[in-house]
Homo-oligomer: A and B are copies of this chain.
Amino acid sequence: MHQSATSRDIERVKETIISMGLKPIPIPGSERTAIGVIGNQGWVDDTPLRNLKGIIDIIHVTKPYKLVSRDFHPSDTVVKLGRDVTTGGKSPFLLIAGPCAVESREQIFRVARLLKRIGVRVLRGGAYKPRTSPHSFQGLQDEGLRILSDVRKETGLLAVTEVMNPEHVEKVSEAVDILQIGARNMQNFDLLREVGRAKRPVILKRGLSATIEEWLASAEYILLEGNPDVILCERGIRTFETLTRNTSDLAVIPLVKSLSHLPVIYDPSHATGKRSLIRPMALASIVTGADGVMIEVHPEPEQALSDGPQSLNLKEFERLVSEIKELDAFVNKKRLRA
């Protein structure tokens, strides 16, 4: 819609869209409002709209996503994670850290105290763990949620944990601040719809063999249910290379940010699967325009019940955070960020 379009103009456009059997989705931006049209299967005849007042342009989108696209929503989405924590746009570089799995109250509190001390605001920890084999440790489940809920209250940290089952969305939303959809569930569409109805921001990890288009189309499921607060998380794809756990092309970050307005963070722990590679990749992601990183940190990586070889210990993480801050400040100052 034109900058000068009135709310009445907008109403008329919406009504016309409804009369065409379609659904209008207003997308307010800083300067103007766009109105997405959904519900069509294939090409839409736009004749009824052409002469309505206040319309600048009618763009036919052929991508499998619309709400997620910059075509509809040119300015960066800023996701609010907590009272004074945001990500996306001009927000500070987001740091999320914690163990792969919540293993005990003591383990989580040790990590939480470190995060608190060094100014990291978001704690990750898996309560429900998706494991290849049913014979592997499956997480502490509800007990894990309780520990996360307690640590939030006592420390003021924000917590993020993975949700694997549509039925759990409600209780997980109560226990933590941010929901995570894991790589294996990127195309679990009923789960996506359910977190789309939740009142929590969602971190959506890229699937092991998902194209960029499929990943954005999965985000579309969440936005379409009314939850605009999606953070994309690149964590590598599966290839023939076996020396790294996954192959993660950082070029995906600036590419996705050009296609979509959503924040994009990077998970160097799963992307590489090797402790020694986390530091260089976390630092490199800053330059490519990532909005943040999510890093696995464990008080005793050698004892971890899962993902030990790709976890940093507390000291390593503390050092990395100070390097991230240093590089981030420089890159912003010199406008070197993609």
Contact = CB atoms under 8 A, between A and B. Distances in A.
Contacts of A209: 208-209, 237-238, 240
A164 interface: yes
A26 interface: no
A251 B279 CA distance: 10
Interface stretch (A52-60, A87-95, A106-114, A280-288): A280-288
A135 B287 contact: no
A212 interface: yes
Given A134-B220, A255-B277, A271-B251, A238 B240 contact: yes
Interface string A121-143: 00000000011111111000000
Interface residues of A, number: 79
Contact of A251 (B167, B191, B277): B277
A141 to B, nearest CB: 11
A209 B187 CA distance: 13
A221 interface: yes
Interface string A25-40: 0000000000000111
A231 to B, nearest CB: 19
A289 interface: yes
A332 interface: no
Given A188-B185, A240-B239, A242-B242, A65 B249 contact: no
30 contacts: A41-B136, A64-B135, A64-B136, A66-B135, A131-B189, A132-B213, A134-B189, A134-B217, A134-B221, A164-B188, A184-B188, A209-B238, A211-B240, A211-B242, A212-B243, A213-B243, A237-B241, A244-B251, A247-B249, A248-B249, A249-B249, A254-B276, A254-B280, A255-B276, A280-B287, A280-B338, A283-B288, A284-B288, A287-B287, A327-B331
